[in-house]
Structure 1
Amino acid sequence: MLAGRPGDRTSSGGAVWWRYSVAGGVGLVVLLAVAGPLFAPYPGEKAVGMPFAQPGGGALLGTDRLGRDVLSHLLTGGTHLLAVSAVIAVAVTVLSAVLGAVAAVRPRAGKVIELCGDLVILLPAVLGILLVLTAWPQGGVTALIAVSLLFGVPYCARIFAASAASIAASGYVEAAVASGESVSHLVFREILPNLRAVFTTQLGLRFVVAIYLVSTIAFLGVPALGPDNWAIMVRDNASGLLLNPWAVLAPSAAIAIVAVGVNLVVTSGPRNRQAPKTPSDVSAVGVAKAGVELGSGRALGAESAGVARPVGAGSDGNAGVARVPRGAGSAGGSGRSGGCGISVVDSGDAAVVEGLSVVADSGAVLVAPLSFRLKAGTVTALTGASGAGKSTAMRALLGHLPAGARGEGAVLVAGYDVFALDAGALRKFRREHIAYVGQDPGSELNPLLRVRAVLADAAPGRSDADHLAVLERVGLDPTHLRRRCARLSGGQQRRVALARAILRRPRILVLDEPLAGLHGTLRTEIAQLISALATENSTTVLLSGHDTEAINAIADTLIELHPPGAQLVNGTAGVAESGADPHPPVNIGAGVADSAGDPGPSAETPADRNGHRLLNPDSADTASPNPDSAGSASPASDPTGGGEVIAVHAKGINADAGGHPVLENIGFSLSAGAALAVVGPSGAGKTTLARVIAGLHTGAVGSLEVLGRPVPLGRRPRIKPDPKGIQLVTQNPRAALNPRRTVEQALARPLRRIARVPTREIPTRITALLAAVDLPADLAARRPHQLSGGQRQRVALARALAADPAVLICDEITTALDTTTAAAIMSLLDRVRADRGTAVVLISHDMTLVRGHCTDLLVLDQGRVVETGTPATVLTTPTHRATAALLG
């Protein structure tokens, strides 16, 4: 639901009221159990009347079999039961969480834990506990807690291990592994904080199980607990159930209320119960009055800051400006009357966005007021700088806003007011009318499913022939049907996600960065496919991207968004005149100040018959007259006077994945301060090579040296926390940062631990790092979900630079960035190379960046090196078909 809209609070108010009512009732019972002895009318063991007397007089619940006051006994009998149950629940949950996390980051240890758990699970838990307590009666409560751990941890640890496995495979955990973090840091700082939901649920469930277990032990008369206990009350008074039922029902109800109530509290949540609106109900959709406070300390004005307009229209302060190059007319919402609703919906409107604005829970404006219309059978593109709100605006068409975000405005899609639909109707709307492919498709595909299963789940009624046809349309051959999503490259995952969306044949297709991570020829083919979907299938397409040339070729309407708060100069975002250099020299590492400058001139290395420099002397595809120096780029002077410094030397690298060879006989040398571009089609093995060098791919053999030091391959951990080590920036910006940490915390860790920056200097260094990657200092307080994909990518780069690496591996780090920001980031890397001697390995499909910023080029195809040399030579006169395909 769009926060702030009428009815938001009432739509889930009943569920929230029920949840807190249950929590309050449980809390009251627990409080009475803990503090009960203070309120008991009589001592718990004092006889006050005849046995099993009915309620009345001084005994509100009557008496038990010994004439004791049932109420007093009830108030004094819960403390011991709940205390023992709580200790068991906490101990089992904490130990299970730690073991599960260790199993996720250390598979070998995980196998041992799993084996031990299997042996324990063979014996039924209750039977095992009874046997131990009967044989060890003097053990008491200590014995009960110990055997509860023995029989409870194996099962619970399995649950935590399964949940932690996906986290251990995420980008931020792998970045920590590559940085040499200890197992304790991985477990307690990276994984467990992100298992809070699982931990809370398991803690509640373990508490319920513990209550039943302790009650059962007490009821059976096993000598492990004291006599003052709710369960013992039930056992001892069962014979007088007909005389005074309260003697049995009261303690039974107390046990049930606490057990069931705790379970409800930890598993229940608010539900949206608002009835859906049908298309006929939403011909005109009301929106909240513009200018209302959104909790950010800033009122959004009544004027729309994002209304689309034709080419040439004057600047009116709008944050979103549309250009209509094909004469399609203004895409802006017409006739908005005082911000009170969508005035007219034309028959050709597939979607109408009117005055949409979104503010995060932190108060940051994610989308400035934006209005546009999508015409049926057309392609509309959202462009603009990273952080302008493109992804947020696109997801709004699906009725989805970031967690905790507040907003205003109206979104009408296929005749439905998406923000007025309840959960069930919203799922039905998404299933039948719209399809979405995010900019990080790898996180949207189940890594364990095969492509065939992914396509079958998306469109159950489609045949195998349909699956093959749609794969062919996105440039994948039939063999991909049998492959698991986890075994696909980033570009292949993007195409599978697109194929899944196309197979559903939606009326509206929303594509966030569909051309990112694709090489030249494939990028052109996918762009043509998107255009054909609109013209031939009458599909309405809304997409985003930074490839201006490709987008201009297929889009009927362009809507340019600017970051909220950006000043507009002649209708475009400008920079306030402050007299400051937008890219000042910054101090980003262990203490050496950067200075602006271009990388030094490139020195020529041995060449083959075609004039291509030889970077792969160990590959069978090339031969080098001087293998020891092959592949070195611009030489860096050695302070000791020893000549050129080789930052990284790889030889004979082979890697397997799932039993299939991915890399074969890869080798190269790279000098300090040089930049090697690794390029090739999707699935060529580029990312695998990056992971091998970073120490994240265990199925690899060969030799690797960093600054002359041997670095083992194929096992973890193998990199010590060294300021002259290896850092990897992955191509997945969503998974690159720990969601529980702020940007400041993410950057402070490598500064303090690896670069050894004094604590008092860390805030200054963080500000400098953010400025270096073209981010404002106020982003330091945000968490990853409050950043755009491009901003997350730049924070990940800043984190890598904070460690002052000798080798920096950048895997598609510019795909989520606009052209200006990408150029600024590459210029920053040029300065880092020149001033620090950092060697950069860049994986990219952008040949313009490769030409302008890399000294050497290595082309991979099907896991082999097929061409090497300088970018100018290789890209001007390519000799292999894979290289020619990169140029489109």
Structure 2
Amino acid sequence: MTLLSERPPATAVPRAARSPRRRRRGRLALAVLILVGVVALLGPLFAPHAVTDAVDIPYAPGSAEAPLGTDRLGSDVVSRVLSGGRSLLLTSLAVTGAVCVLGALLGMLAAWRRGWTDTLVLRLADVLLGLPAFLLLSVVVVATGRGTAGVALASGLVLLPESVRVVRAATLRILAQDYVEVAVARGERTVSVLGREVLPNLLPVLAADAGVRFLGAVTVVATAAFLGYGAQPPAADWGLMVLENRDGLTLQPLAVLVPAALLLVLLLSVNLLLDAAFPGPQQPAARPRPEPVTTVDSEAPGTPGSLLSVRGLSVESDDGHRVLEDVDLDLAPGELLAVVGESGSGKTTLALAALGHTGPGLRPTGGDVRLDGHRLLRLDERRLRRVRAAMCGYVAQDPRTALAPHLRVDAQIGEVLRARGVPKERWAERAERALLLAGLDRPHEVVHRRPHQLSGGQRQRVALAVALSVEPRLLVLDEPTSALDTVTSAAFLADLTRMRRETGAAVLLVSHDLGQVAGVADRVAVMDGGRIVELGPAEAVLAEPASERGRALVAAARPVVPASAADHEERTGDDALLRASELSLVRGERVLDGVSFALDPGDCLSVVGPSGCGKTTLLRCLAGLDAPTNGGIRLHGEALARHVRDRDPGQRRRVQLVPQDPYASLNPRHTVAAIVGRPLAFRPDIPAERQPAEVERLLAQVGLDPELGGRLPGALSGGQRQRVALARALAADPEVLLCDEVTSALDPSVATAVTELIARLRTELGLAVVMVTHDLSVAARLGGRVAVLHDGRIRETGPASRVLSRPEHDITRALVAALPHPARAAGEDGTR
């Protein structure tokens, strides 16, 4: 089955929409920089006189022999200016190159090795950073002697520490990506991981850092020359010219101003070029408010009693792609409206438009958005911020990034209250009330924690509490349950229902899972292709969906009853393909506690449980990325080393990992063919000339058109990326497939297709599959066995058909009970 029909990532938001003015500045800066560089490097060839020739009296005015006059030695200023930039420029380039290479090596090494290596590198950098640059320059020059060599060394020591820190920080961010961990689990050498996976993604950072270091090098080298540390008389040097001729500034200002101007132009042109090539976060450009479309009476106030009213709203990207098209919507006080649809349907754009905002590269082209009578799209930025501050709360999708990682919970809430002008003496009261409303029963404990000390569900509730602390009348939630397990998700939605009843806030809830949100929503809006294709009461949409997209979402929301055909009890023999025995891992507290199971070829074990129970840690231990404290893992009866680097190549090849996030599991700098083909390099049975054909076969095996091999991951949809990750794992010819929440970031229909693909591969290839998931419907579709993990221990295990239909442990019963049931939500059981 080919998924070419999956919608690729929306091109509606360009990556760095650079304005024409910025591009013009960049081209001008490049032209000026080239001109100054030519003057500096080739100038000595065109100097009319030798730099030591005295052509006139000192500080003489301009003449035929010396158009710009002479300096303090009577030498021609033009000749000395043309000859004075080469040493400066070449020294600065050499220093920049050395600093960038050494900084990249030390920064990557510190990030990769961690431990004492990281500590040693950082402490040395801190020592150099703690020394004043002038003092360091003076000490080095005194030790090495005046001249270019000493200045170059001193400049490198001044610039190196910051370069090391920049590279280290960027490398740590890249090393956290799933595609790096897959390479490590595959057994790639350190040089290969850093060279293939890290360095290509580090190049933009290195390029920007090189520009900054070059600016610093020019500044330090020129300053050293001005101080008399660098080039010595009678050599020509722009910095030295400023030093030598400063006493004659009133007599012959050109001898000082011309070299100083060239230095200034050099620095400014590099600055402008860096600004054009590496723009920072884009601020929304001031734009005229759009005129309403002709079919909409924008002066109409909308439905009487509506808090939010959207009429004829259309949003386009800069390239003309229509993201929203003629959207009409009303939201009453105290109402919860769920906006559902697949990725790319326009849900998030609509949610942001309800706050008067459009993302980078997007612009409203028609329609009107009214919030309590305020026409948001017509307000200037200051008035729009005031309206939002007074009336709105927003909770972003990912609980991992919705909170500032360095701030405690009370500080997170305090920042928002300060911006709203709430007196500080009321902050504690407002924070406690908001945390209680968000479902956190012990706010006095939570307020002193940072985000990394909270579970996923707690982080999502804290993000909600931050929004609730300002007592909003409109609350916008973007996919608040996508990263949560069924129990946590159900509890969050229950708390949301209670909260809106207590506060009377209107809630706009964005989701791709109709089954989850229908039970709490008053009305449901189904979006497809930027339009609302269906809008009505939740019961009506669930019972009799009128649109094709609505019917597809309802079908995806129906609970799956597992079949028992492929289910069987766990083997207890010693000849199992994969066996884990009493695995335990302690990190301050016990994360895994005596986990044991066995798998045969073609078996499937779905590991389920609430967030924080140890599911992903178990998978990482099997992959060799985390080392268990106790216990053992055997493959074909042979013991596997605890760390993947200590396993032999055959063992690493036979156990393959498929990470959770399809957007982080593929290296964005490599093509699909390169990603899938890399594991083939470790297979002696596939010679190099056969590898392209094998890549095409693997792509077809996972339901992708082989023509996608030439694309970068950014041109693929989430489902396509996840299939590429599966193809990459299959390229190693594995016997065990470790899947970590591979459907959590996908739309229901795409998640179903990927689950069915894994089930088919399991049957056709005889793969043993360990599937970590919080979605019990995935376990039901895969069949096999289910292990319920809680607090690091397996509380219940058995065939999927039995565990999911007749759960025995309290944790299992809670997980099954939390499954969304569209029939119940539609009122078929007589309750609502």
TM range (shorter): 0.7 to 0.9
Residues 443/749 of structure 1: CA separation in 2 closer, same or farther (3 Å cut) = farther
Describe the SS at the equivalent of 1:554. Answer: coil
**Do the aligned partners of 2:756 and 2:781 also contact (CA within 8 Å) in 1?**
no
1:618 equivalent in structure 2: none
Q: Is the 8 A contact 1:3 1:406 kept in 2?
A: no
- For 2:685 and 2:132, locate their aligned partners in 1 and report how far apart those are by CA, in whole Å: 52
* Alignment CA distance shift 1:137-1:699 (3 Å): farther
Mapped partners of 1:751, 1:389: distance in 2: 39
Contact 1:510 1:542 in 2 (8 A): yes
Q: Tell me, yes or no, if the aligned pair for 1:231 and 1:251 is still in contact at 8 Å.
A: yes
Structure 1 residue 503 corresponds to structure 2 residue 433: no
Flag the 1:164–1:416 CA change in 2: closer, same or farther, 3 A: farther
TM-score of the superposition, structure 1-length normalised? Answer: 0.75
Contact 2:583 2:628 (C-alpha < 8 Å) held by counterparts: no
Among 171, 183, 188, the residue aligned to 2:195: 188
Structure-2 residue corresponding to 1:690 = 619
Task: Work out which of the residue numbers 380, 393, 401 in structure 1 matches 2:337.
Answer: 380
User: What residue is the counterpart of 1:674 in the other structure?
Assistant: 603
Show the counterpart of 1:854.
783
- Say if 2:540 is the partner of 1:540: no
- For residues 538 and 676 of structure 1, do their structure 2 counterparts lie closer, same or farther at Cα, with a shift above 3 Å needed? same
The letter of the residue matching 1:813 is: V
- Partners in 1 of 2:316 and 2:158 — Cα distance? 50
The Cα of 1:85 is off from its aligned counterpart by: 0.5
* Compared CA separation, residues 417 and 687, structure 1 to 2 (3 A): farther
Match of 1:173 among 180, 196, 212: 180
2:399 equivalent in structure 1: 441
- Cα distance between partner residues in 1 of 2:384 and 2:734: 47
Cα separation, 2, equivalents of 1:266 and 1:380: 46
Letter in 1 for 2:595: I
Q: Which residue of 2 aligns with 1:113?
A: 121
Partner of 1:572: 548
Structure 1 residue 41: deviation in Å? 4.7
Deviations 1:699-752 (A, max 9, x none): 744322334443333686768586734333333444334344454544343455
1:199-230, Cα deviation, whole Å (9 max, x unpaired)? 34432332222122222333344466781211
Q: Is 1:412 matched up with 2:363?
A: no
Tell me by how many angstroms 1:34 deviates.
2.8
| Alignment match, 1:609 | none
Tell me if structure 2 keeps the 8 A contact 1:380–1:555.
yes
1:32-51 to structure 2, matched below 5 A, reads 32-51=39-58
Contact 1:675 1:841 in 2 (8 A): yes
8 Å Cα contact 1:374-1:540 kept in structure 2 = no
> For residue 805 of structure 1, what is the amino acid of its counterpart?
P
Contact kept? 2:736, 2:768, Cα under 8 Å: yes
**1:650 alignment counterpart:** 580
**Take 2:548 and 2:690, find their aligned partners in 1: how far apart are those partners?**
37
Equivalent pair of 2:438/2:496 in contact (CA under 8 Å) = no
State the TM-score, normalizing by the size of structure 2. 0.79
From 338, 354, 371, the equivalent of 2:327 is 371
8 Å Cα contact 2:81-2:258 kept in structure 1: yes
Is it true that 1:821 corresponds to 2:826 in the alignment? Answer: no
3-state SS in 1 of match to 2:808: coil
Task: Measure, in 2, the Cα distance between the counterparts of 1:82 and 1:215.
Answer: 10
**How far is the alpha carbon of 1:74 from its aligned partner?**
1.0
Matched, 1:337 2:303: no
Mean Cα deviation higher: 826-835 or 747-756? 747-756
CA distance in 2 between partners of 1:731 and 1:411 (Å)? 39
Residues 231 and 517 of structure 1: CA distance in aligned 2, closer, same or farther (over 3 Å): closer
Equivalent of 2:252 in 244, 248, 252: 244
Q: Which amino acid aligns with 2:91?
A: V
Secondary structure, aligned partner of 1:813: coil
* Residue 454, structure 1, aligned to residue 424, structure 2: no
Provide the C-alpha distance between the structure 1 equivalents of 2:698 and 2:601, rounded to a whole number of angstroms. 22
Q: 1:457 to 1:733 in 2, by over 3 A?
A: farther
Aligned partners of 1:80 and 1:229 also within 8 Å:
yes
AA aligned opposite 2:795: V
Q: Distance in 2 between matches of 1:781 and 1:708?
A: 41
Pairs within 5 Å for 1:251-330 = 251-267=259-275, 269=279, 285-286=290-291
CA separation of 1:273/1:811 partners in 2, compared to 1, >3 Å: closer, same or farther? closer
* Aligned match of 1:835: 764
| Alpha carbons 2:81, 2:236 under 8 Å: kept | no
- Could you tell me which residue of structure 1 aligns to residue 308 of structure 2? 350
Q: Is the 8 A contact 1:812 1:843 kept in 2?
A: yes
Kept after mapping to 2: 8 A contact 1:857/1:874: yes
State yes or no: 1:153 paired with 2:160.
Answer: yes
Which residue matches 1:594?
none
Q: 1:463 to 1:754 in 2, by over 3 A?
A: farther
- State the distance in 1 between where 2:513 and 2:464 align: 18
Q: Percent identity?
A: 36
1:551 aligns with 2:517: yes
> Structure 2: how far apart are the matches of 1:193 and 1:28?
31
Spell out, residue by residue over 1:39-96, the C-alpha distance to the aligned partner (whole angstroms, 9 max, x if none): 5454444433222112354533211122222123212211221111012112212321
* CA pair 12-546 structure 1, distance change in 2 beyond 3 A: closer
Aligned residues: 767
The equivalences for 1:577-616 within 5 A come to 601-605=566-570
For 1:181-220, list aligned pairs within 5 A: 181-196=188-203, 198-220=205-227
Structure 1 portions without partners, runs of 5+: 288-335, 576-597, 607-625, 630-643
Structure-2 change in CA distance of 1:398 and 1:261 (3 Å): farther
Alignment of 1:667-816 (within 5 A): 667-697=596-626, 700-713=629-642, 720=649, 724-752=653-681, 792-816=721-745
CA distance in 1, matches of 2:788, 2:523: 36
Distance (whole Å) between structure 2 residues aligned to residue 729 and residue 501 of structure 1: 35
* Counterpart selection for 1:30 from 24, 32, 37: 37
Seen in structure 2, the aligned counterparts of structure 1 residues 3 and 832 have a Cα distance that, compared at 3 Å, is closer
Corresponding residue number in structure 2 for 1:580: none
Tell me how far apart the structure 1 counterparts of residues 699 and 604 of structure 2 sit (CA, whole Å).
23
Check the 8 A contact 1:273/1:422 in 2, yes or no: no
Deviation by residue 1:467-488 (Cα, 9 ceiling, x = unmatched): 4554455554534444442344
Q: Residue in 1 aligned with 2:816? A: 887
- Which residue pairs with 2:237 in the alignment? 229
The one-character-per-residue Cα deviations of 1:81-137 (angstroms, maximum 9, x if unpaired) are: 111101211221232123212222220332232244355556555444444444444
- Per-residue displacement from partner, 1:743-772 (whole Å, max 9, x unpaired)? 454434345556976666666666665666
Give yes or no for contact 1:386–1:790 (8 Å, CA) kept in 2. Answer: no
**Which string of whole-angstrom CA distances, capped at 9 and with x for unpartnered residues, describes residues 152-206 of structure 1?**
3234212322333233223333333223233233333333443455434432332
Residue type matched to 1:95 in 2? L
Secondary structure of 1:682's counterpart equals: coil
Q: What is the alpha-carbon distance in structure 1 between the residues aligned to residue 709 and residue 368 of structure 2?
A: 32
Unaligned 5+ runs, structure 2: 1-9, 535-544, 552-562, 818-832
CA distance in structure 1 between the aligned counterparts of 2:660 and 2:607, rounded to whole angstroms? 14
Cα 1:201–1:528 change in 2 (3 A) is same
